[in-house]
Chain A
């Protein structure tokens, strides 16, 4: 009897071990699915999960991705984290897009302190809210101030590489909401630093001016007064920080008021569906983390692009797609390196791995102003040429030469 009991107990233990081994590692993602950024980031995450599971999973266990739509609503974003932690019992949090939503999520993330790898929320307000002690928090998207610094580095290198390019006067047109005003504040800081002979813009920036506009996304759409101010300032570099809905009307209205700066830069989080097809897009410069043309210089970018198109029968159109893919792979590489689900071991592993991402560069973790675990630092400088986004800077990833000065497409 005793022997039968022991045999049964052993069988039960073996069986439960086998079950545990197959139990998936749960990753909870919160993305705005109604928006192209969240939609494509989620699709890319699912692609990464499929590839990882097809290759045998991690630690011998499959990955399960649970996605909740935050609908770009802070309350829903916060509730999504709560649900993922308590109902779904996820092991990790990933995803993210808007800073406003993330600000509402930060207190909940702090409550559960699970390892979180976040790809959105560029506002430094989110970094302040997260604070310096959250060693479990990894932020991959560059913060707003890092982006401003990065552009200074980029334009300075471009001025050196292209002797005919001059960038002394910069005009920033910014949408009057939080995104635009944060950008303006960042540029003011950079300009003040440049005046003191500090920061990444110090070598080139001599004069700076800004004006706000009401984004078409928020009921505006008439930029002509702002463009006339910019025209009167006669900048070498004109940047507008608004939304994708502003992209075409701003160029069209600039053409209308005959404002043709030598460098015309747009810095929206995403671009309209058919912007590249529009003749007005020709030679417009943009800031972004990725462009499909990176396929020509990065095998990882090409693999991601082809796999995404094959799986979803659509092209990735926003950098949040490769960022979402990176989100999952980076986390899984960390788990793999740690060899267990031990929180401290994974944190340590994530801090030391170097992941070659489809964004064309290697992802390494370094501290930023406040948090300990910051991923990418800079965005890239790209230019629309014949309907394609070409990489201009970093120079080592450049897919073509800068077309200068800017002229309106016919």
Chain B
């Protein structure tokens, strides 16, 4: 229970960051998806079940700020969390490039799924332009953030281990 409360608090904090970042930096063109980054990293480290729960909660929180409570982010984030969990336990923690790569691909899948489910984008969107101008830069930004976050997580883990021995 304590673990769930902590993780939900982290998700709320990340949502607040996501909502406020454009207020702090008004010229920012792309808003990084902190919730997605958190969910994918959790999926890679802890597996599908854990990530899916927080994927659904993160999606619900994001949907609250887009009018209807249950919107598209809830199913999309849950599905992406499950897909990201396929990477879980298949690489060495020392490999710092896998989590950013996972987030990069998860962002592409996440945004494409969202566009395909969004009625007014489905038939009118120029997917090539959107992928080139929005989705790939956003995926790169999310991947870059993930690299530093995972690096900190990895170094913190090592420091913690060396402290114990």
Same complex: no
